[in-house]
A and B are shown apart, each in its own frame.
Chain A
Amino acid sequence: MTDTAYSRQDFQTDQEVRWCPGCGDYTILASMQSFMAGLGVDPKDVVFVSGIGCAARFPYYMNTYGLHGIHGRAPAIASGLAVSRPDLSVWVVGGDGDMLSIGGNHLIHALRRNINLKLLLFNNQIYGLTKGQYSPTSEVGKRTKSSPWGSVDYPFNPISVALGSEATFVARTVDMDRDHTQQVLKAAYEHKGAAFVEILQNCNVFNDKAFIRLTSKEERDINRINLEHGKPVVFGPDDEWGVVIEGGTARLVDVSEVGIDAIHVHDAQADSPAAAFAISRLSHGPTGPTPFGIFRSVERAVYETELQQQIHHAQESRGPGDLAKLIASGGTWTVE
């Protein structure tokens, strides 16, 4: 961060943005540019790394450093960058196919290692760039070009996947809600370690209105469960519903029936991810009432910091590497 004041324009490139008109990606891009400008992040210290997909075009539109990689591999590429350059703010952008299908392996390992990456999964529950096949987050029975009889694949719940991968920061937001998106991005930016953010994103061409229940004026209040650290998990126009956790399972209840004291109090900093996981199971899709916000935010050793320290300690205890000594270290003899 610097003292320089930036505007959204400072983060825009001269490249024509080529998403379909009305695509949710535009809104996310605007949120990102505004958030970065507002926070005074210096563009030269920021790198966006992506895979392949509509979402993965993101780096071209951010006037920072950027690397548009190969399908699914962005977390791996970004890991190398972040580990070698801990001074940079490294962001990964990918779609649900990119990050959960072809790149699922890299995603879980980046999270497990707690590399200082901000991983943004733009979830539109469809393959956009390849024109509309079902994705690993598409619901069972989904009819697409590659599933004319309805998909028989069981979908991933991205939040559950992230929590199960030992992620230290896990959050969900939605494209339409710019304020919320910016809040979550800010928290992810400030988190030390791997931050996973699922951003529900409307693909108006191949999967329009997939999240309408969560974004429309009429329905969003009854379907959005806003998680706030230290507060009971209640929702609805008058907070009339809530969440209780019993036997490791989260359940929706009528607050007036169980009393506010029985309602689960959200603790994003809890050591165990169990409660966050239970909450993540409340929606699978998501279709009905769906939790939003920060599920988990805990501190754990950051990979590249630990590695730096090993280097530091090794140099302190052994002195800086001496190549002449090294090549002689396996035993030598002299020929006169």
Chain B
Amino acid sequence: MSEASTIDTSTETENVSAVAIRFAGDSGDGMQLAGARFTDASAIFGNDLSTFPNFPAEIRAPAGTLPGVSSFQIQIADRDILTPGDQPDVLVVMNPAALKANLGDLRPSGMLIINSDAFEERNLTKAGYATNPLDDGSLDSYRVLQVPMEELTQKAVEPSGIRGRGVLRSKNFFAVGLMAWIFNRPLEPTLEWIDKKFAREEEVREANRLAFKAGFNLGETTEMFRHTYEVRPADMAPGVYTNLTGNQGMAWGLVAAAQSAKLPLFYASYPITPASDILHDLSRLRNFGVRTFQAEDEIAAAGAALGAAFGGHLGVTGTSGPGLALKSETISLAIMMELPMIIVNVQRGGPSTGLPTKTEQADLLMALYGRHGEAPLPVVSASTPADAFHAAIEATRIAVKYMTPVILLSDGYIGTSSEPWLLPDLDTLPDISLPFAPPQEGEGPFLPYLRDETTLARPWAVPGTDGLEHRLGGLEKEDGTGNVSYDPKNHEKMVLLREQKVKRIADDIPLIEVTQDEDADIVVLGWGSTYGAVLAGIRRVRAKGYKVAHVHLRHMNPFPKNLGEVLARYDRILIPELNRGHLWRLIRAEYLLDPIQYSKVQGQPFKAAEIEAKLMELIGT
């Protein structure tokens, strides 16, 4: 539908290739949960899928108002898809505010499933409707299905014995049940989930089960829904899959990285949206030996991670934009001390508190340059939820091998959205471990800044080792000895050495590869979470018979060695970014090329259609 066919009302069960569904309601309506349950059922059914949770920053925005609207979009498909879909084909709304906030996105003549009980005067006024859209003809161009979800849920859950405010809580499961019927989803995964989740709350469990089944049965028994849709399982590579969000991928990737580096993992963080889930996920993993430290602020979190790194652990700190700003002084210290450390930044809209629950890629220049003094460090970025797992390992490999802090960029979209992930064969994970400096006895003074000739890394000498007693710190180091030095020439030498160390990493990362049509005139250069939308957009343009080349970056500093030369082969370079041109600036500065900037700063990811339109515009000129 969204990327292929349209709804056709004449058939009983219609086969569609892909469909995008959005659940929208008040923050208190449990829309994220509804979306997640529908996602799991679809994943287990075997569809390829991509999700996009979108929720307000205010936990308690007044109920029924526009700022309180929360939504969850999922696209399911019988083939490889890359985005949650540009426009939902189906929109489920739980109240007037949700309708008002989301209707503009619904595809023309799309399906609109409405909880009609919520469309009473008070809610309509709160959402700013002068007339009731259910009656005034304004929804005529859509396929509207009005369902009194509250009344039906109330009746359905009666036998559970649940009373009071709990009664209407399960109406989100009613909606999920109804969607399960319309889209032929299996019931078991959701019922099992309910049983497990509410194992200790008998009444709640029963109420949710009943509401869920009631939604499903409504579809089965009423005339209202004359037909259902079928999205066949996708043709995916054989293997075992799980549904993965980016924050989970990051957490697990860090665990895998620590194991690959044969180091204990120490994760220090101060809660911040949308990075907190990494802390939550890692906190549970005590049996992996993971130490999590909820610090008093981001500065302390960075400091603690650095302290752990000095002690020989894989020190990691995770945060989002404002937190990265606070950590910058500590990161500079880590650069001076030349200790490995990972700083995860799940970017969000700024400046300041900005759009805390919305996505953006506007911290790239801060990651590269947001420190005092000459303070270069490697920057690695993740592209998709599953890619976060691998990016974490790559960042760790670089940090340990080159004895340097590494900034690892994710963003709100990667962090909270999900995709099916073919579980990797863990035996194939690289061994990225390196030995600590060995004990030393009577062979002259230990030189903490003696460098490896290839990597320029200094030894990692951890406290508790005989004969390596040494002092590190933020004051400029004398080459070799690491003693404090104010010698002007030495300072320049050390600045250049630290710079060289980062530059040399370019010899140790893969060359950039052009995908799609290598012989095109236009190349699209992307990085981070725009990956899916960019590639989907390119596919659409190629389907029309035009050629487009595609390049996607993982290493933001240093760049792959051949990047400039590859880009220079094309007449036009398009750089789409969710910022005002950070990568665009870097490419201009680095290679004296003149790429075309395509920026979006709405707190929302790119749509495939936007990339498509931009490319078509360029092709036409």
Alpha-carbon distance A328/B372, docked complex (angstroms): 43
CA distance A84 to B426 in the complex (A): 26
| B241–A84 touching, CB < 8 Å | no
Q: Which of B464-511 contact A (CB under 8 A)?
A: 464-475, 483-484
Q: Complex: how many Å from CA A292 to CA B148?
A: 75
Interface pair A81/B308, CB less than 8 Å apart: yes
Q: Is A310 interfacial (CB-CB < 8 Å)?
A: yes
Q: Kindly identify which residue among B189, B259, B307, B471 contacts A84, using a CB–CB cutoff of 8 Å.
A: B307
Contact pattern, A 22-45, Cβ under 8 Å of B = 1, otherwise 0: 000000000000000000000111
Contact yes or no, B288 A321, CB < 8 A: yes
> What's the Cα separation between A311 and B313 when bound, in Å?
15
CB distance from A100 to the nearest CB of B (A): 15
**In whole angstroms, how far apart are the Cα atoms of A14 and B445 in the complex?**
10
Query: Per-residue 0/1 for A52-90: is the Cβ within 8 Å of any B Cβ (1 yes, 0 no)?
Result: 100000011011111111100100111111111101100
B297 within 8 A of A: yes
Q: Which one of A155-163, A258-266, A272-280, A312-320 is at the B interface?
A: A312-320
Residues in A with CB closer than 8 Å to B423 are: 324, 327-328, 332
- Which chain B residues (1-52) contact chain A, with CB distance < 8 Å? 40, 43-44, 46
Task: Give the shortest distance, in Å, between B318 (CB) and chain A (any CB).
Answer: 14
A contact residues around B310 at 8 Å (CB) = 47, 67, 77, 81
Q: How far is the CB of A164 from chain B (nearest CB, A)?
A: 16
Cβ–Cβ < 8 Å partners of A87 in chain B: 464
Q: Is the CB of B472 within 8 A of A66?
A: yes
Give every chain A residue within 8 A of B256 (Cβ-Cβ).
323
- Asked whether A333 and B240 contact (CB < 8 A) given A70-B330, A77-B303, A323-B259, the answer is yes
CB of B304 within 8 A of CB of A79, answer yes
Task: Kindly state whether residue A326 has any CB partner on chain B within 8 Å.
Answer: yes
Q: A63-B469, A77-B306 are in contact. Are A45 and B463 (CB under 8 A)?
A: yes
B529 CB within 8 Å of chain A: no
The segment from B58-66, B216-224, B231-239 that touches chain A is B231-239
- B-side contacts of A80, CB under 8 Å: 266, 268, 293, 303-309, 311, 315
* CB atoms of A67 and B471 under 8 A apart: yes
Q: A73-B330, A81-B311, A84-B308 are in contact. Are A68 and B239 (CB under 8 A)?
A: no
Q: Report which residue of B239, B295, B306, B330 has the largest number of chain A beta carbons within 10 angstroms of its beta carbon.
A: B306
B243 CB-CB contact with A under 8 Å: yes
Question: A residues within 8 A CB of B466?
Answer: 44
Q: Contact check, B287 vs A105: say whether CB atoms are below 8 A apart.
A: no
Using a CB-CB cutoff of 8 Å, which residues 256-291 of chain B contact chain A? 256, 259, 264, 266, 268, 285-291
Q: Do B287 and A321 touch across chains, with their CB atoms under 8 A apart? A: yes
Cβ of B296 and Cβ of A73 under 8 Å apart? no
| Structural contact, A105 and B297, CB atoms closer than 8 A | yes
Query: CB distance B255 to A69 under 8 Å?
Result: no
Known: A44-B464, A65-B470, A73-B299. A334 touches B243 (CB 8 A): no
Q: Is the CB of B287 within 8 A of A318?
A: yes
Instruction: Given A60-B484, A81-B311, A83-B293, answer yes or no on A330-B248 (Cβ-Cβ < 8 Å).
Output: yes
* A49: B residues at CB distance < 8 A: 307
Tell which of B244, B287, B307 touches A330, judged by Cβ atoms closer than 8 Å.
B244
Nearest CB to that of B43 among chain A residues? A333
Whether B255 and A105, one on each chain, are in contact in the complex, defined by CB atoms closer than 8 angstroms, is no
Contact B474 A68 (CB under 8 A): yes
Instruction: Name B474's closest neighbour in chain A (CB-CB).
Output: A70
Q: Do B299 and A44 touch (CB < 8 A)? A: no
What 0/1 readout, one digit per residue, does chain B (441-479) give for beta carbons within 8 Å of chain A? 000010000000000000000011111111111110000
Q: Could you tell me how many residues of chain B have their Cβ less than 8 Å away from some Cβ of chain A?
A: 73
B189 interface neighbour in A44, A77, A328, A331, Cβ under 8 Å: A331
Inter-chain contacts of B306 with A (CB < 8 A): 77, 80
Please, which residues of chain B bring their CB within 8 A of the CB of A47?
310, 463
A256 part of interface (Cβ distance < 8 Å): no
B252 adjacent to chain A (CB < 8 Å): yes
- Check if A332 sits within 8 Å of B240, measured CB to CB: yes
Residues of B within 8 A of A311 (CB): 286-287, 289, 291
Contact indicator B475/A66 (Cβ below 8 Å): no
Chain B contact surface mostly: mixed
Residues of A within 8 A of B312 (CB): 84-85
**Which residues of chain B come closer than 8 Å to A319, judged between CB atoms?**
287
B464 cross-chain contacts in A, Cβ below 8 A: 44-45, 85, 87-88
Contacts of A44 in B (CB 8 A): 463-469
Query: Which residues of B (137-189) have their CB < 8 Å from a CB of A?
Result: 189
Q: Does B242 contact A (CB under 8 A)?
A: yes
B398 CB, min distance to chain A CBs, angstroms: 21
A146 within 8 A of B: no
B240 near A88: Cβ-Cβ < 8 Å: no
How many A-B residue contacts, CB cutoff 8 Å?
211
Given contacts A79-B304, A321-B289, contact A84 B266 (CB under 8 A): yes
- Tell me the bound Cα distance from A322 to B266 in angstroms: 18
Size category of the A interface is: 35 or more
Q: How far is B296's CA from A318's CA once the two chains are assembled, in angstroms?
A: 30
A-chain residues with CB within 8 Å of residue B237 when the two chains form the complex: 335
Report Cα–Cα, A105/B295, bound state, in Å. Answer: 11
B252 touches A326 (CB 8 A): yes
User: Residue B303 contacts which of A59, A76, A321 (CB distance < 8 angstroms)?
Assistant: A76
Name the CB-closest residue of B to A311: B286
Query: Are A76 and B465 closer than 8 Å at their CB atoms?
Result: no
Q: Within the complex, what minimum Cβ distance (angstroms) separates A91 from chain B?
A: 12
Closest residue of chain A to B192 (Cβ to Cβ) is A331
B252 to chain A minimum Cβ distance, whole angstroms, is: 6
B613 at the interface (CB under 8 A from A): no
> With the chains together, A335 CA to B48 CA distance in Å?
11
- Which chain B positions have C-beta within 8 A of A320? 287-289
B305 CB to closest chain A CB, in angstroms? 6
A67 with B472, Cβ < 8 A, contacts A76-B299, A77-B303, A81-B310 known: yes
Q: A81 contacts which chain B residues (CB < 8 A)?
A: 307-308, 310-311, 463
A84:B311 contact, CB within 8 angstroms: yes
In the assembled complex, the CB of A290 is this many whole angstroms from the nearest CB of chain B, namely 30
Q: Please give, as numbers and ranges, the residues of chain B lying within 8 Å of A85 by CB-CB distance.
A: 308, 311-313, 463-464
The answer to whether A331 touches B40 (Cβ under 8 A) is yes
Could you tell me the distance between the alpha carbons of A182 and B467 in the complex, rounded to whole angstroms?
26
Contact A327 B252, beta carbon cutoff 8 Å: yes
Tell yes or no: A106 within 8 A of B by CB: yes
Contact among B286, B311, B474 with A69 in the assembled complex (CB-CB below 8 Å)? B474
The 8 Å CB contact of B308, one of A83, A324, A334, is A83
Q: How far does the Cβ of A7 sit from chain B's closest Cβ, in whole Å?
A: 16
| Contact of B563 with A by CB under 8 A | no
**Shortest Cβ gap from A89 to chain B (Å):** 10
Cβ contacts under 8 Å, B309 to chain A: 80
B244 close to A83 (CB less than 8 A): no
CA distance A66 to B469 in the complex (A): 8
For the complex formed, measure the closest distance between the CB of B325 and the CB atoms of chain A, giving whole angstroms.
15
Residue of B nearest to A85 (CB): B311
CB contacts (< 8 Å) of B518 on chain A: these are: none
B333 an interface residue at 8 Å Cβ cutoff?
yes
By the criterion CB–CB under 8 Å, are A83 and B463 in contact? no
User: Which of chain A's residues have a CB closer than 8 A to the CB of B236?
Assistant: 335
Is A109 interfacial (CB-CB < 8 Å)? yes
Contact check, B296 vs A78: say whether CB atoms are below 8 A apart: no
List of A residues within 8 angstroms of B315 by Cβ: 80, 84
Q: How far is the CA of A15 from the CA of B471 in the complex (A)?
A: 11
CB distance from B95 to the nearest CB of A (A): 31
Closest to B301 in A: A76
A106: nearest chain-B partner, CB-CB: B300
Interface membership of B329, Cβ < 8 A: yes
Q: A13-B471, A45-B464, A85-B308 are in contact. List 16 more A-B contacts (CB 8 A).
A: A44-B466, A60-B471, A65-B463, A67-B472, A68-B474, A69-B474, A77-B307, A80-B307, A311-B287, A323-B252, A327-B426, A332-B240, A333-B43, A335-B236, A335-B237, A335-B238
Can you give 18 A-B contacts (C-beta < 8 A)?
A13-B471, A14-B445, A66-B470, A67-B310, A67-B473, A76-B303, A77-B306, A79-B293, A83-B291, A84-B291, A85-B313, A88-B464, A109-B296, A311-B289, A323-B259, A327-B423, A330-B242, A331-B43
